Amino acid sequence: MQNSGIFVSELSTSTHEFKNYHFCRGNSNRRKTRIGVILKGEGAYIYLNKKLNVHEGDVVFVPENIYCYSEWHGAPDIEVVYLSCFLHYEGFKYEPQLLSLDEATKGTLLQISQLLTLDALEELEAYSLFYKLLQVILPQMKPSDIAFDKTLQSAIEYITANWNESFSVAELAKHCCVSESTLYHLFQKELGQTPVRHLHSIRINIAIEYLENTNYSISTIAELVGFPSENHFRRIFSDVTGTTPLKYRKSR
């Protein structure tokens, strides 16, 4: 298979289970290509200036060359099973997308996941089935024509990985090896928002999880998600969601 230009390594599986709401920052270290089966709940994968909505029963493909984070909602359960790997494929240029698979093929995905939890012989069978699965998946994939700006990717990864730290736009720009003005222009052009607004949206999403799933006070949540004061948190929360933290909690 390696001579054909397609080679899979480090195939693994994971099951993500949550209640009501979950915000996932993604993984910036040794990021793998993922194929996910949404068994319960619904969500959205957010990357660059795009959003891919997914629902129960969907199968999603998330390539390793795209950094994205995701938001999930359940009533109350959320369950997603992933097959993850490094997919070595010359000319591979895709973005996250839904796959149109029949129930038998979805069953094969879950079978591979189960085999990967067993011994070495079953793992070999999992690899064999996975290569056959790629024969079904790859022909239907829609190549991406978007430009993957490495600076923007780097900035998004840094913000998402360090959302609970205190850092300035100047520090972010230095990390990305560009000027502040260049970084602002890039965010406005591609995402329609500033770097600070992008950071705020992540913090507010995590604050929503606290509001829904804990009894923490508003001031405690403000501190946990990195705002310098409760008033600042309330103002940004209202700006992002259109309501106050207290009204949001009472509406759940």
Does pTM top 0.85 for this prediction? no
CATH number for the domain whose boundaries are 2-140: 2.60.120.280
34-49 per-position pLDDT tens digit: 999 999 999 999 876 6
Which residues sit opposite 37 in a β-bridge?
59, 81
**Least confident piece of the model among 14-18, 20-24, 71-75:** 20-24
Other CB atoms within 10 Å distance of the CB of residue 32: 18
The domains of the chain are located at 2-140, 150-251
Position 2 confidence tier, pLDDT thresholds 50, 70, 90 = very low
Q: What is the 3-state secondary structure (H, E, C) of 52-101?
A: EEECCCCEEEECCCCCCEEEEEEEEEEEEEEEEEEEEECCCCCCCEEECC
Q: Please tell me the predicted confidence (pLDDT) of residue 97.
A: 95
pLDDT at residue 28 is higher than 60: no
User: 140: closest CA among 105, 111, 112, 90?
Assistant: 105
CATH number for the domain whose boundaries are 150-251: 1.10.10.60
Mean of per-residue pLDDT scores for the chain: 88
pLDDT at residue 23 is higher than 80: no
183-200 per-position pLDDT tens digit: 999 988 877 789 999 899
pLDDT at residue 107 is higher than 80: yes
Q: Please tell me the predicted confidence (pLDDT) of residue 91.
A: 67
Q: Please tell me the predicted confidence (pLDDT) of residue 168.
A: 94
Q: Please tell me the predicted confidence (pLDDT) of residue 29.
A: 44
Position 8 confidence tier, pLDDT thresholds 50, 70, 90 = very high
pLDDT at residue 181 is higher than 50: yes
Which residues sit opposite 228 in a β-bridge?
none
Residue corresponding to tokens 């999930």:
72
Q: Please tell me the predicted confidence (pLDDT) of residue 134.
A: 94
Residue corresponding to tokens 């006070």:
217
